[in-house]
A and B are shown apart, each in its own frame.
Chain A
Amino acid sequence: MRVFYAVVLLAAVLVLNFSLMHLAPGDVADTISQSMGGADQEILDKIRADYGLDKPFLVQLGHYIGRVLQFDLGHSFFFNQPVTQLILQRLPATLLLVISAQILALVLGVVLGVYSARKPNSIANYFVTFFSLFGYSAPVFWTGILLLIAFSLKIPWFPVAGMRDVTISGGFWIQFWDVARHLVLPMITLSSIFIALYSRLSRATMMETLGADYIRTAKAKGLSNRQVIYKHALKNSLSPVITQAGIQFSAMMSGAVLVEAVFSWPGLGTLAFQSIIARDTPTILGILFFSALVVIVGNLLTDLALRLVDPRVGGRK
């Protein structure tokens, strides 16, 4: 059932994107004629006919969806490559960035949140509050630039830009190490927003859970604080965090656009930016489609995780 919804959602994304592009002023023929330094009406008409732009809206939409079903997202006029190929080249970089940042944020966020909920008046709690406020309030691209200035320009620990060093070649582990070094700063930058979010959320739900009757009961029957927190309270306060993590997948993809721009990370975000400037319609459509796909798959996985943590979810239909 969930999978069926996912497919419907994807179809809706296709329709919306295509309508947006269609409504927007200017089309591919204009772009091409601009790059040729202007063209007369006859040539414009010829280009429009070649690309099927003279057909009615629904026909074009139908053609587009038909082609997408065959994994054909069209041809990029700007990069002169099939869009699917272009996106598949860039997708792994974005996935690597987003997934590693998500994991880092979840682990650190929950640890910080639970710790500060346990000790509401300690200095540690104020530290977490401050840290989470920073993560929430600082623009992510600014955080990235600050880290870049600090840890690769002033102290040259990490590379300035990109994902690989072209001068490095070697076996799997050498390349792995190379990518990992490039990944550190972008990953920390992207996760900084979400660490803040998850730690605030898990602290809030944890504090609420700790006020519940069954926790008092657990304490009254003589369980230690540690047991109460990790065996009883954590389980109940984890599901809101996981739900939130699922919702945040699309925010992660958005954040990745900015982080990629700062670190010249060769992913979908950089590609989106380039193609929007070049008005490369098929590529923009393709990127939106693929990032929606990533988010939908992420949501399905979150649902699965939620069922594992919280058995009540599976029963509720």
Chain B
Amino acid sequence: MTDEPIQKARSPFIEAWEMFARNRSAVAGLIILVLISLGAVFGPALYPTDPFDMVWAPFSPPGDAGFIFGTDYLGRDLLAMIINGARVSLIIGLAAAVVSIVIGVTIGALAGFYRGIIEEILMRITEFFQVLPTLLFSMVIVALFGASLPMITLAIGIVSWTAVARITRAEFLRIRELEYVMASRASGTKNAKLMFRIILPNALPPIIVQSALMVGSAILFEAGLSFLGLTDPNVVSWGQIIGSNRQYILDASYTVTIPGLAIFVTVLAISLVGDGLNDALNPKLRSR
């Protein structure tokens, strides 16, 4: 017998992290995301210019008089607006994604597990929400019930859970017929345990990837609403900067390109991380 050491079983989390770390663009995305989050948390303290103050002549180009991003049509410091806007974008993006994931996973899991009349009813409800154009629907909600940040979050979450529900249901439908689930069911495992301990862990990979994408699309969604002016007027947000400066693109295109770039980079970082998660969690791609 050789005295080769026996390989210890490794945690799936460590294995997934190693797969993730191998994807360089995903790691880059993660780093960018951490930087943006740090900027959103500590930025306003480190750069205390009020984003609503008129600090310099309007339409001063980037770099003018020390204003790195220049000033907008009201002479407000664009850098301060971007920093403060990051908070709104990230908070609403995360909160709205959480709302829609909770709704979506619950509905999808119940529908895919119980089938029959429950599935029928839940999928009709899902279909109903899919038929309503999301942006129009949330425009109506925000316009009617006020553009406070919680209302915007709710409006985004309520209209965007359907994709999560469909994915969860599809995974449950597939997995519930697998032999190991059958075996578990045959040996008398209770429904709740089957659903959450036996099926859900194996259904998670596509749900996690979708959740990462949800945060990105919620940020885009918020940007769209505030671009149209449906936003809390007491806070700065990236989409709103673009919307209010839109008329002046001939004189000062940077007032539109810079905040757009901020949204773009943030959502891009999130979707790179989502891609990395997909690689890390999809065993079919591992051997490649």
Contact = CB atoms under 8 A, between A and B. Distances in A.
Contact of A257 (B128, B136, B141, B213): B136
A145 B128 contact: no
B272 A133 contact: yes
A149 B253 contact: yes
Interface string B241-284: 01000100110010011001001110110111000000000001
Given A137-B216, A139-B264, A291 B133 contact: yes
Contacts of B106: none
Interface residues of B, number: 49
A138 B253 CA distance: 17
Contacts, number: 146
Interface string A122-142: 000000000001101111111
A149 B249 contact: yes
Interface in B125-144: 127-128, 130-137, 139-141, 143-144
Contacts of A142: 242, 256, 260, 263-264
A24, A137, A211, A288: residue with the most chain B Cβ atoms closer than 10 Å: A137
A23 B220 CA distance: 28
B128 A276 contact: no
A208 B224 contact: no
Contacts of A288: 132-133, 136-137, 140
B206 to A, nearest CB: 10
Given A139-B227, A141-B242, A153 B284 contact: no
Contacts of B137: 288
Contact of B128 (A13, A273, A291): A13
A313 interface: no
A24 B146 CA distance: 9
Interface stretch (A34-42, A85-93, A247-255): A247-255
B135 A258 contact: yes
Contact of B268 (A23, A133, A292): A133
Contacts of B139: 257, 272-273, 276
B131 A296 contact: yes
Given A141-B224, A149-B249, A149-B253, A247 B271 contact: no
Contact of A295 (B133, B144, B228, B265): B133
Given A24-B145, A258-B228, A288-B140, A146 B135 contact: no
Interface in A249-277: 250-251, 253-255, 257-258, 261-262, 269, 272-273, 276-277
**Ordered nearest first, which 7 A-B pairs have the shortest CB separation?**
A254-B135, A142-B260, A24-B144, A253-B133, A137-B268, A137-B267, A276-B143
Interface of B: 124, 127-128, 130-137, 139-141, 143-145, 162-163, 166, 213, 216, 220, 223-224, 227-230, 239, 242, 246, 249-250, 253, 256-257, 260, 263-265, 267-268, 270-272, 284-285, 288
Interface of A: 5, 9, 12-13, 16-17, 20-21, 23-25, 120, 133-134, 136-142, 145-146, 148-149, 153, 207-208, 211, 247, 250-251, 253-255, 257-258, 261-262, 269, 272-273, 276-277, 279, 284, 287-288, 291-292, 295-296, 299
